[in-house]
Each structure stands twice: as structure tokens, then as C-alpha cells.
Amino acid sequence: MHYRRVLVVAVAAVTTVGLAAGCSSSKKSGGGGRGPITFVTGKDTSGVWPAIANQWNAAHPNEKVTVKQQSDQADQQHDDIVQHMQAKDPGYDIVTVDVIWTAEFAAKGWLVPLKGQYAIDTSPMLGGPVKAATYNGTMYAAPFASDGGLLYYRKDLVPTAPTTWSELISDCAKKTSGMGCYGGQFSQYEGLTCNAVESIYGAGGTVVKSDGKTPDVNTPQAAEGLNFLVNGFKQGYIPKEAITWTEEPSREAFQSGKLLFLRNWPYVYAHLTGDANSQVKDKFGVAPLPGSSGLGTSTLGGHSAAISVYSKHQGTAFDFLKFIETPDIQLNQFLKVGTLAPVLKAPYTDPTAIAKFPYLPTLQKSIDTAIPRPVSPFYPAITQSIQTNVYQALQGSLPVQSALQNIQAGITKAAGG
């Protein structure tokens, strides 16, 4: 008697689940569909998307774009996209892909390849961002904003920016009391990977060989690069609290006059000049990153837009992709409003732009010489290995040599080694 009741309930439950599973659509859209789209991007800290969306919506009343903003943290943006892709959600038509996620998302088959009817003309674009959006020889995303590391410095205290690390350390003597000398992003997250690889590159080291896969980080150059940061904490030219800094806290430290040198992204420029509480409005300059024996190399950042294979309006999505790469949007929205780095070559030589943003040639050089982080579908595991070991090295609980050995082994293991 008892068993029969349980059986009836169980059958009812299984039927319900079966119906529910059948309801979700898992069909891939054939392509070319037109209609309203949703554009998913991280938190709009630069305030550029409302105007761009309005311009598109005015011209395309039947194919409106809705901008959906995610968290401001890259790891959470990544996880959010992964969740929706695993659920085959057709509601995410275009997703903003950080340069480090392109390989992973493309390898998992979530992005529409941009070839054939979806080919993009890349001749007016900078080389680095285009390469970053390419995986296995095919473009999977359309770059719309680039990013490179820059050195912001107090030109009222240090008239010429340092070009080497030893110059920077001796310039520390020029700071006033209550100031820290050098700051970056050293909390345990993706920003730390950026700072760490920039230091490694700056000493002539590398993370992976030119094939993009084999790790080669256990070298004396890489150790010298990491030691620039480790010694910073040991000797005090990096303030102790910087171990908790992400982009915004480090910007705030520089903006309130408590830091002599800051390594950060171009978006900071708008805040330093435009914010009401900025103590450094006309007192700062922008320079390329210093390195060990000469100028250093920044890591390539930036974002691209990719079409989800589960989108039902891929035709409209593709047109929106091309729209955000037009010279007008690149110059007038991304650069002038958000001080983000455009991906087209033209804005960097536009005279009105250079008059307003004198650091543009520095930024272009930074992006042109930027080295990407390892391009791999296993990037989450790679960056975790780098973050964890570098963080412990900065805290002084792990020797630099062991940290590099662990990173080397971690990258090998990530790719199934």
C-alpha cells in the first residue's frame, strides 16, 4: 500500500521534471535572425553605454538594444556569462568578452565565428586587439575597446617620469610625508595577474613561449620582475595596505594625493580630471610603464563583443557589433566620454582628440607594444595559479623561486599535463 503511494508520487515528479526539461529551448539559431537584442556588459563605470544605446535605438526602432549591466568584478562577469551559456540562454544575444576569455568561450563552442556573412573588416584596427579576439585562426569576437597599463605620476613632484625601476625607486625620495611611493593592484584577483605579468615582461621574462602554450616562467628574468614587487612590500616603497587594492581603491589613493606613482588603466584619466574631489587635477602626468633596464611592457587588456550561438537575432547582433566599431562611436563615445582606448587607429592621430587627451600617443604605444596574457581555453586555471602564488610571494610567505616553480607546474597541469 505504502509503496504504491510512493510510486505514484515519484512518477508524477518525474513527469513534471521531464516536461520542464522539454520546455527549455536548446535549439541553436540558424543565423540571420533580426529583432530586439540584449547586450551584456560589465558595470558601466565610464558611463558610455546609455548614449550609444540611445543612438542605435533611434535608428532601429524595431530592433532595439537593451544594455544589461553585470557586476564590476571581472571574475563575476565571467561566471555570469558561463552560467547563461551553460543554460543555453537565448536572452544573452551579445556578450562582452574580456580578452582573456575569448579562447575559453570559443573552445566551448559558445561564440559565433565572425567569418563569411559575419566577417569584420579589421584593416582600420590596431593589431593587438584583433589578435586577442582570434582563436585558432578565426575571429570569434569584435573588439570595441582596448586597454593597456599606464604609469600615472605626480608631475609637480617628479618633473620627468622614470623609465627604469631603479629611477622610480630613487624618485621615491621626492614624495611628501603621508604619501606612499608606488601603487598598483595587488589583491588576489585578475588585476594581480596583470600587474605580475607586466613586471615579468618588464624584466625581459615571459609566461609562456611563443607557441602560446608551453610555460616558461621559471627564469631569472621573471624572478627579477617579480622581485620588483616583492621588494616593494619588503622595503616599503609599496604601501602595506596596497595588498588589498583593486583598481578603484588604488585610483582613490592617487586621486586623494596619497600616492606618487600609480599603475592603472586609461579609464582613470576621466576621474582624475573630472571628479570634484580630485586633489591632483592638473598635477599629474601619464607615462609608459618603466622596466628593468629601459621602458617596460604593459599587458593587453580590453573588451570585445561576441554573438552567442544561442541568440535568435544574430543578424541584428552582427549589425550592432559593426555599429560600435564605427569611427564616430569609437572617437566620440568611447574616447571622449569614457576615456577608454579605441580599437581603431584613426582616433589616436585625430588632432582634436590629442588636444583634449595629450596622453594618446603614450596610450597607443602602450597598446601596440602590449603583450597579451597566455591565450588558452584553460585560462581560469592559469590565472588562478599566477594569482595565488604571486599573492603569497608578495605577503612574504612564499619565496619567489618557489612561486615561479609552482606557476610553471600549475600552467602545465591546467592544460591537462
Partner 1 sequence: MTAATGEKAGQEGQVGAGRERERRRRRARASQGDSRLAWRLIAPTIILLIVVIGYPVVYAVVKSLQLDKADAGINPSTGFFQQGGKFVGLKYYRYWFNCNCPNGTNGHEFWPAVQTTVIFTVITVIFEVVLGTMMALVMHRAFKGRAIVRAAILVPWAIPTAVTARLWEYMFQPHGVVNSVFGTSIIWTGSVWPARWAVMIGDIWKTTPFIALLVLAGLQVIPDELYESARVDGANAWQRFVRITLPLVKPALLVAVLFRVLDVLRIFDLPYILTHGANQTTTLSILAVNELRSSQNAAAALSTITFLFIFLVAFVLVKIFSVNVVQTQARTVKA
The residues that touch partner 1, with contacts defined as CB under 8 A, are 5, 9-10, 12-13, 16-17, 20, 78-79, 82, 86, 106-109, 135-136, 187-189, 240-241, 243-244, 377-378, 380-381, 384-389, 391-392, 395, 398, 402, 405-407, 409-410, 413-414, 416
Residue 50 CB burial class (10 angstroms; 0-12, 13-18, ≥19): exposed
Q: Write down the number of H helices and E strands in the chain.
A: 16, 11
Q: Report the nearest approach of partner 1 to the CB of residue 24 (Å).
A: 14
Write down how long the chain is: 417
- Indicate the residue among 164 and 405 with the shorter CB distance to partner 1: 405
- 338, 167 contact by CB (below 8 A): no
Name the residue among 190, 168, 189 with its Cα closest to residue 180.
168
Report, in Å, the least distance between residue 26 CB and partner 1: 15
* Beta bridge pairs of residue 138: 135
In the bound state with partner 1, the residue whose beta carbon lies nearer, of 329 and 375, is 375
- Nearer CB in complex with partner 1: 369/384: 384
Smallest gap from Cβ 54 to partner 1, in A, equals 32
In the complex, what is the shortest distance from the CB of residue 110 to partner 1, in angstroms, rounded to a whole number? 10
DSSP state of 31: S
Q: Which is nearer to partner 1, 189 or 267 (CB)?
A: 189
> In which residue are the cell numbers 585560462 written?
379
Give me the least distance between CB of 376 and partner 1, in Å please.
10
Considering the complex, state which of residue 162 and residue 232 has its C-beta at the smaller distance from partner 1.
232
Nearest to 300 by CA among 198, 171, 164: 198
- Looking at the Cβ atoms of 61 and 416, the one nearer to partner 1 is 416
CB 162 within 8 A of CB 251: no
Q: How far is the CB of 135 from partner 1 (least distance, A)?
A: 6
C-alpha cell belonging to residue 359: 596622453
